[in-house]
Each structure stands twice: as structure tokens, then as C-alpha cells.
Copies of this chain bind each other. A is one copy, B any other.
Amino acid sequence: MKKINQRQVEFDCEDIFPKRWSPRSLSPEVTKEDLMKCFEAARWAPSSYNGQPWRFVYAINRTPAWDILKQIPNEFNQKWALNAGALVLTVSRKTFAYKNKPNIHYAHDTGAAWMSFALQAEMQGLYTHAMAGIEYEKAKELLKIPEDYEVLAMFAVGKMGSKDSLPQDLKDKEAPSQRKPVSEFTFEGVFQADKPEEKKDE
């Protein structure tokens, strides 16, 4: 079976899935038009009752909006993400428009829209890298995000840059990550929890 990006493919899916990965060495050539095509892909994601809870706040490097969004990655992520072409904050509405009822699927559905963005980016020759390490409270304050919305993540977008732009520790880690085998997360008609041993892993 094929190997893509040093990733061994077990079952023959389309190449775009193992081809997409999350480098930190990003270069700043991203245009608004580039982003719009990716948002268009995200737009067509499915969602519970077609609620479309995803919201994206973006900034392109060296524009006024950048000065706001660049404050949101944490100290660790600022070391590499500020070289990217764009930063996008993923926000999600926690309620439906209809009577403001709670939407229990907002994070799941917003993750689906984010994945569509990342795959469209990949097909345009762009790379994305999502960050959990961001200042959530600061993002809410800076952007005046009301209580019925949640800040879920941030991601950087760029062309592939030079590894030399990275600090040494990140340069050493710069490679596509591996995954557990399909048999460890799919089950036919039964559910199997992870073995307790795995919980003790360091």
C-alpha cells in the first residue's frame, strides 16, 4: 500500500488526506482570495439542522487586522505562527437562530467546516496548522465575542516556508505526525475503550 508524507496508508483513500499535514514553517504569501476559496469549502459542510454554527475571524499578515489577531497565539505558538500568511480564529455559535435553543453539535459541526477549509487549502498548495495553545479569554475580550459564542481554536495558513525560520527545538520536530491504526478506532457493532495501559503513557 502507498506511503505519502512518510505516512503508511492502510486502505486506499484519496491522496489528499495523508498529504495534508500541519507544518510550522509557513511563509507569508496568502491573499484574501486564497482564503475566500477555503471559506467557500467550509461553507458547504453539513451541520445539525443546517445551523452552520462556524464563524471565522481572519487577518492577513501585515494588515491592520493582523495586529489584533497576532496577540492570540500563546507564547509558544507565537514563535512560529507569526511568520504565517494568515491567522484565523475559529468561533462557534452555541445556539440555533431558532429561538436561541442550545445546539449540542456546535463544536463537532464547526470542526467539520474547519476540516473542509484545511483540505481546500491543501488542494490550493497552502498549508494550515491549528493551535490549541491560544489565549481564549483574551480573544473573547479583544474581539468582544458574546457569551453564546465559543472560541474553539486558531489556525495559521501559509505556503511552505523554510525550516530555517524555526527555532531549533521546532525545527527538530518538523515532520508529518503519525496516526494509530484504523483497527484501534473503528469497531463493528461493539465499542472498545482504549486499554488502561495507554492512559498511563507519558
Q: Report which A residues bind B (CB closer than 8 A).
A: 7, 9-14, 17-18, 20-22, 33, 35-41, 43-46, 48-50, 52, 54-60, 63-66, 68-69, 90-91, 93, 95, 97-100, 104-105, 107-116, 118-120, 123, 130, 132, 143-146, 148-149, 152-153, 177, 179-180, 182, 185-191, 193-194, 198-202
Contact = CB atoms under 8 A, between A and B. Distances in A.
Contact of A182 (B40, B57, B148, B190): B40
A46 B100 contact: no
Contacts of A98: 201-202
Contacts of A21: 46
10 interchain residue pairs of minimum CB distance:
A65-B189, A111-B111, A107-B107, A108-B111, A115-B115, A112-B115, A11-B40, A143-B191, A13-B40, A11-B36
13 contacts: A10-B40, A14-B120, A17-B41, A43-B185, A48-B132, A50-B179, A63-B189, A65-B189, A91-B191, A108-B111, A112-B112, A112-B115, A116-B119
A12 B37 contact: yes
Chain A interface, DSSP helix/strand/loop, else mixed:
mixed
Contacts of A108: 90, 107-108, 110-111, 114, 152-153
Contact of A11 (B39, B130, B148, B198): B39
Nearest to A48: B132
Interface centre among A12, A143, A179 (most CB of B within 10 A): A179
A43 B180 CA distance: 8
Contacts of A35: 186
A177 B56 CA distance: 21
Contacts of A132: 48-49, 104-105
A1 B22 CA distance: 31
Nearest to A54: B185
Contacts of A146: 193
